[in-house]
Structure 1
Amino acid sequence: MSRNVPIDNRSRYRPPFGLLRAVVLIVSVVGGGTVGYTLLEGWNVLDSLYMTIITMTTVGYGEISPLSEGGRVFTIALIITSIGLAGYAVSTLAAFVVEGEFYRIIRERRMDQRITHLSEHVIVCGGGRTGKYIVEEFHRTRTLFVLIEQSLDVIEHVQQQIGDFPYLVADATDDDTLRLAGIDRARGLVAALGEDKDNVFIVLSARALNARLRIIARVNDEDNMSKLHKAGANELVSPNAIGGLRMASIMLRPVVVAFLDEMLRVSDQPLRIEEVHVDKVPNLIGKTLVDADIGRRTGMLVMAVRNRDGRHQFNPGARTVLQQGDILIVVGTPEQLEALHRSEFV
């Protein structure tokens, strides 16, 4: 039911209260001047409105007809009020532009339009100490994503590191924010906020809005793992556990860790261990690895094959037959992965 709730984007683009107040005051003075001239001089509404406008703008077109004494006093008061109101309106408008509110609204409109065209993307909630590395990896591997972060400073810092990407300056625990991020079209969500309670709330909302979503959540306290699983998270990642395992690996296998780090750090050729679903390359089904000749066609290395029953075949032989439901574990670049999906295997 919640998926069909309409989103009111207009609330995100409302100008500051000061600008709205200036507009209301101008309309009120125009209305008051029109009523005043109508009552004091007996003019019709159009003549009264005309006299009010030329008085407020001080264009000096002259009076419609000679004013009464009361009309002159009213005109003096209207001129003084208009001068003060004009100063207030100009200063408010200047502040609106100079302080960045105008450009913020334009930027948010463009960003929303950009996000609207995304599908099968990943939503990253939180761009802090953990989220920035997630965003960096997605950017390097050309994975479509949207970052949700409450601090524009954090977003701009990440953009300085990796370049432009779609984002929302908003609260990821808000259902409307997830809708704006295109959760109904997304294929995954990463809850990477610093507090477990916030991640639980995000996971609950995300699972309710998209039942097929793959959700990965950060967990700091292992006691909260069961709560996040019950909330709907598919996988959990503990930065403390990962950090501890890495430190142990550096001590025990320094050369291997150095190799993997170098593989991930090379910017001109970002090698990654990727997975290829055979079902998405249907021409591979029924072929042996030697017939598919993936290495020659794309330059990728096949490390393992995960069968549809969940078993892994490491360093598969050339006569291994690829079946429907199999997943290839390969080493290659994003360009090589794209080439594999484009290849025609005869």
Structure 2
Amino acid sequence: MNEIPEARLVTISLIIVGSGTLLYFISSLTALIVEGDLQGILRRRSMERAIGSLSEHVLLCGIGTTGWHIATELRAVGVPFVVVDADRERIAELDEEFGDELLFVCGDATDDHVLDLAGVERARGVISALNDDKSNLFVTISARALNPTARIVAKSIEPSTERKLRRAGADAVVAPNYIGGVRLFSEMVSPKTVAFLDRIVQFGGGISVGLAAVDVPAESPLVGQRLAETDIREAGALVVAVHRADGDYVYNPGGEHMLQAGDSLIVLAEAKDATRLRNTLQG
């Protein structure tokens, strides 16, 4: 009988401790919900699953001024992409504008593990738009090692870096300072030409006609035919140049120009006509 009060005391203590634990759990859960942490956790997990299921996407490394414009263009043409940047505030700003459709990895783009999280091995391409040449060089080296077939486009600040970036594996190097200078010059001496080129180099944004590259595969039924023998023009596509497999260009090809396997036709067409031409060339 003497043990009964002690047992009751133990039971009461357990109830108090258990109730306290439950209240703490409820309080913590409420704090998560109120502060938005739970929503953030769920968003990150959902985004990780979405990135894990991606393939043939583009990694955009660097979301500075240049990267922001790139992200806007990628979204406009419907190309799936993942942003990689270590600046949480910058990503938050982009996330606020893009909403739930934005996929990102917050981390150092020069880190192989971070590139892996962004699905670099399954990506069709990598754009390195960081604000210093050294970082862009490291991203290029890592991306090429992790995905030998991806197309890599790197930004360069100093002209002397272009050769190093190409040796590191970049397929193309873009120097914004140089391009900006040429653009300012062109706007002064040939504004109408620049305005026309601005309209045709991009699809989206209400622009129905643009430049597109359409490949001629080896199994295409049009291989060996002259341009005049095809119905490419009737399909609504104007061939303005042909990019040969050896890297040379044939500008304004005539009707006698013969199509070869590995050619890439640079056409002026509406997006739907360019798509139809691709289907025709693939047979």
> Is TM more than 0.5 here?
yes
Q: 1:92 aligns with which of 17, 28, 44?
A: 28
Aligned to 1:81, the other structure's residue is in SS state helix
> 2: distance between equivalents of 1:276 and 1:137?
20
> 2: distance between equivalents of 1:180 and 1:301?
42
Deviations 1:228-269 (A, max 9, x none): 334322221111111111111111111111222344486233
For the pair shown, the structure with the greater C-alpha radius of gyration is: 1
> 1: distance between equivalents of 2:93 and 2:221?
44
Aligned to 1:308, the other structure's residue is in SS state coil
Pair 1:154-2:90 in alignment: no
Structure 2 match to 1:292: 230
Q: Which is bigger in relative contact order (C-alpha 8 A, separation at least 6)?
A: 2
Pair 1:309-2:246 in alignment: yes
Structure 1 match to 2:48: 112
Larger deviation, residues 69-78 vs 275-284: 69-78
Structure 2 match to 1:202: 139
Matched residue count: 279
- Specify the code of the residue in structure 2 equivalent to 1:148: V
> 2: distance between equivalents of 1:270 and 1:145?
23
> 1: distance between equivalents of 2:131 and 2:194?
27
Pair 1:131-2:67 in alignment: yes
> 2: distance between equivalents of 1:70 and 1:147?
62
TM-aligned CA deviation for residue 313 of structure 1: 1.4
- Specify the code of the residue in structure 2 equivalent to 1:274: A
Q: Residues 118, 337 of structure 1: CA spacing in aligned structure 2 closer, same or farther, 3 A cutoff? A: farther
> 2: distance between equivalents of 1:140 and 1:280?
32
Deviations 1:115-143 (A, max 9, x none): 33332222111232111222222233333
Segments of structure 1 that go 5 or more residues without pairing to the other structure are 1-64
CA contact (8 A) 1:290 1:318 kept: yes
Aligned to 2:257, the other structure's residue is in SS state coil
- Specify the code of the residue in structure 1 equivalent to 2:146: L
CA contact (8 A) 2:220 2:281 kept: no
TM-score normalised per structure 1? 0.71
1 or 2, which has the higher helix percentage?
1
TM-aligned CA deviation for residue 67 of structure 1: 5.5
Structure 1 match to 2:190: 253
> 1: distance between equivalents of 2:203 and 2:216?
28
Aligned to 2:221, the other structure's residue is in SS state helix
Q: Residues 98, 197 of structure 1: CA spacing in aligned structure 2 closer, same or farther, 3 A cutoff? A: farther
TM-aligned CA deviation for residue 321 of structure 1: 0.7
